[in-house]
Amino acid sequence: MYEFKHERERKEKILKIYLIIFGITAIATFFYGLYTNRSSLAGSFFSLVFSLIILIFARKRKGWAIFLIQLLVWMHVVVLLLVIVVSILQ
């Protein structure tokens, strides 16, 4: 189907927001893994490389990569809300 210009621009803005949030969470996860010493340097580095590969494919507009980014962003949001609720209830 054809898209109007404003619809395409809206989808582009939403995709850019997802990419920015995913990039921030990938970097935060990398540094958190290094800070807590729960995972090794190799594990943290592998996580960062995996995230960068997903970002590269998402910039090429691959559907599976965009879906994976949206899924991971929403998963991080849910985990963040759970952490906030648990910290309030404690």
pLDDT for 49: 92
* Cα gap 64→56, rounded to integer Å: 12
- Predicted model pTM: 0.82
pLDDT for 89: 93
Residue 90, classed as helix, strand or coil, is coil
* Cα gap 4→17, rounded to integer Å: 20
Give the alpha-carbon dihedral of 58, 62, 65, 66, to 10 degrees: 70
Question: What tens digit of pLDDT does each residue of 1-53 get?
Answer: 678 889 999 999 999 999 999 999 999 888 888 888 766 778 888 888 999 99
Task: Write out the two tokens for 36.
Answer: 């807590």
